[in-house]
Structure 1
Amino acid sequence: MTETIGEPRVLASDAAIELIREIRADHPKILFHQSGGCCDGSSPMCYPADDYIVGDNDVKLGEIDGVPVYISASQYEVWKHTQLIIDVVPGRGGMFSLDNGREKRFLTRSRLFGGGEACAVPQPKTNAGS
């Protein structure tokens, strides 16, 4: 997992926590993978944990409400000075994401770490061996 001193790499809004809990009523074990921008843009995709294989080059950013959040190592390299905030907006989720069909979807917002925060960003530990 990657984190800065005192600052988590990923957070969730209250609306996102509410939607996570709604989804977990149907799918108790889930995970997020930050999409790389293909078919569903840069949406955080929510999958049943048993249906998604976390790759050796995926980086665990942290957890939100006990749900792990991953991103590819190459995308992490671009966003390593950024805190991701998972939020919810009206609309349809990604085709394979568990928020699809709920008339609301997850959306990633972000903020740049500043000052000493950016200097504290460590090299990521990939999923391999964790």
Structure 2
Amino acid sequence: MTARVVATDPALALIAELQAEYGDILFHQSGGCCDGSSPMCYPAGDFRIGAGDIHLGDVGSAPVYIGRAQGDAWAHTQLILDVVPGRGGMFSLDNGREQRFLTRGRVFDESERRELGLES
């Protein structure tokens, strides 16, 4: 099955580093407030997943969520979790490490959209 979210090797390495330090973590794709549209990383018990959040999948055993409205708008896109130089989001675990998570996107092709039930 085509994954809705994947991670690059540098992202997987940072995820492993954070898991070694904090234990279970999760991601929530920010909707644009405060820290732009950065993927935010939290200790698993420190962020409340709501009824309006969609579980896109897991990367490095960390679940990735997105708000329903944003998830619906990006439904045609595979999210690619990556790492770039810079400061992470104010409340995100990557803050202060001089590298931060960044979400890139790739539009699903026609066969992937059919597989995911996005074609009508």
Report the TM-score, using the length of structure 2 for normalisation.
0.94
Match of 2:54 in 1: 59
CA RMSD of aligned residues (A): 1.1
Secondary structure of residue in 2 paired with 1:116: helix
Contact 2:27 2:39 in 1 (8 A): yes
Secondary structure of residue in 2 paired with 1:54: coil
Q: Where do 4+ consecutive residues of structure 1 move more than 4 Å?
A: none
How far off is 1:85 after superposition?
Answer: 0.3
- Counterpart check, 1:36 vs 2:31: yes
* Identical positions, percent: 59
Aligned counterparts of 1:117 and 1:24: Cα–Cα separation in 2: 31
- Counterpart check, 1:75 vs 2:70: yes
User: Tell me, which stretches of 5 or more residues in structure 2 are unaligned?
Assistant: none
Match of 1:85 in 2: 80
Aligned residues: 118
Higher relative contact order (CA 8 A, sep 6+): 1
Deviations 1:59-103 (A, max 9, x none): 000000110000000111100010000000000000000000000
Match of 1:106 in 2: 101
Contact 1:35 1:44 in 2 (8 A): yes
Deviations 1:20-58 (A, max 9, x none): 011111111100000001111111100011111000110
Report the TM-score, using the length of structure 1 for normalisation.
0.87
